[in-house]
Amino acid sequence: DQQVKQNSPSLSVQEGRISILNCDYTNSMFDYFLWYKKYPAEGPTFLISISSIKDKNEDGRFTVFLNKSAKHLSLHIVPSQPGDSAVYFCAASLDFSSGSARQLTFGSGTQLTVLP
Amino acid sequence: KAGVTQTPRYLIKTRGQQVTLSCSPISGHRSVSWYQQTPGQGLQFLFEYFSETQRNKGNFPGRFSGRQFSNSRSEMNVSTLELGDSALYLCASSLLPNTDTQYFGPGTRLTVL
C-alpha cells in the first residue's frame, strides 16, 4: 500500500507557464514533506521542503503548498524553464519516536517536460 | 565539498550471485541511508546507518544487508540475487539521523541476468 502517491506519471508544460505537480499521502502521522528533482544518471537533488505546521513555503520559482485536511501537497514552478525537465519525487517524513531515525517515504515520481 | 560517491556505478550479475555496493557520504555526514529505485515504484527505503549501527530498516528480505564503518562509509550487500533485484540503488547521507534533508549519490545501476 503506497503511503505517498503521485498519480500523474508525466506532465508537459510550455516554457514560461506554471507547472503544478501533485502528491497525496495517506498517513496522517507524516510531519515533514520534501520535493526532490532527479535528472537521468544522477541521484535525486533536494529542492524544497515544508513542515506540517505550515501550509506554504516558497523558494524562488518554487512554492510548495500543503493541505493537511486533504492530505495533499503540490509543487508550483513559475515560470517553468526547459532546465526544469526532470523527474520530481515528493517524499514524506515520519518521526517514529524520540531517538529514532526519520525515514523518508517517496512517491513514484512525475516526469516533467518543459517545452521551449 | 565533495558529494556522496557510490561505487561501482554499473554492475551486471547473474541470478544466485551476491553483490556489494559502496557509499562514501559527504565529509562530516554521519548518517547513511540506502534506497532502491525500480520503474514505477519510486524510491523504497532499505535501511539507515548511524555510528556503525542500523537504526531503521525498510520492508526488504534478509538477503539485503548493510554495514557502516567508523569513517561513516557504508556498504550494502545483496545475497542470492534475483531478477527482481535489478534496480538503481541510491545512497543518501545527512549530518545526523534526524536531519530531514538527505543528499543523494548518483546511484549504482544493478542488472541481474
Q: What is the pLDDT along chain A (116 residues), one digit of tens a residue?
A: 679 999 999 999 999 999 999 999 998 888 889 999 999 878 899 999 998 899 999 999 999 999 999 999 999 999 999 999 999 999 998 765 545 556 788 999 999 999 99
3-state secondary structure of B83: helix
What value does the mean pLDDT take over residues B74-93?
95
Contact A101 B100 (CB under 8 A): no
Residue matched to cell numbers 543518501: B92
Q: What is the pLDDT, as a whole number, of residue B101? A: 76
Q: Which residues are CB-neighbours of A98 under 8 A, at least 6 positions away?
A: none
Q: What is the pLDDT, as a whole number, of residue B16? A: 97
| C-alpha–C-alpha distance, residues B97 and A101, integer Å | 5
Q: Which residues are CB-neighbours of B61 under 8 A, at least 6 positions away?
A: none
Alpha-helical regions (H) of chain A? none
Q: What is the pLDDT, as a whole number, of residue B99? A: 62
What value does the mean pLDDT take over residues B78-83?
96
- Interface check for A43 against chain B (CB to CB < 8 A): the answer is yes
| Amino acid, res. A83 | G
pLDDT-above-70 percentage for chain B: 95
Contacts of A44 in chain B (CB under 8 A): 43, 90, 104
3-state secondary structure of A57: strand
Q: What is the pLDDT, as a whole number, of residue B84? A: 93
Q: pLDDT of B38-49, one tens digit each? A: 876 778 989 999
Secondary structure (DSSP) of A11-42: EEEETTS-EEEEEEE--TT--EEEEEEE-TTS
| C-alpha–C-alpha distance, residues B37 and B107, integer Å | 9
- Interface check for B34 against chain A (CB to CB < 8 A): the answer is no
Let me know: does B49 contact B55? Beta carbons within 8 Å.
yes
Contact B90 A41 (CB under 8 A): no
Torsion sign over Cα B67, B69, B72, B73: negative
Give the mean pLDDT of chain B.
Answer: 91
Q: What is the pLDDT, as a whole number, of residue B2? A: 76
Cell of B8: 561501482
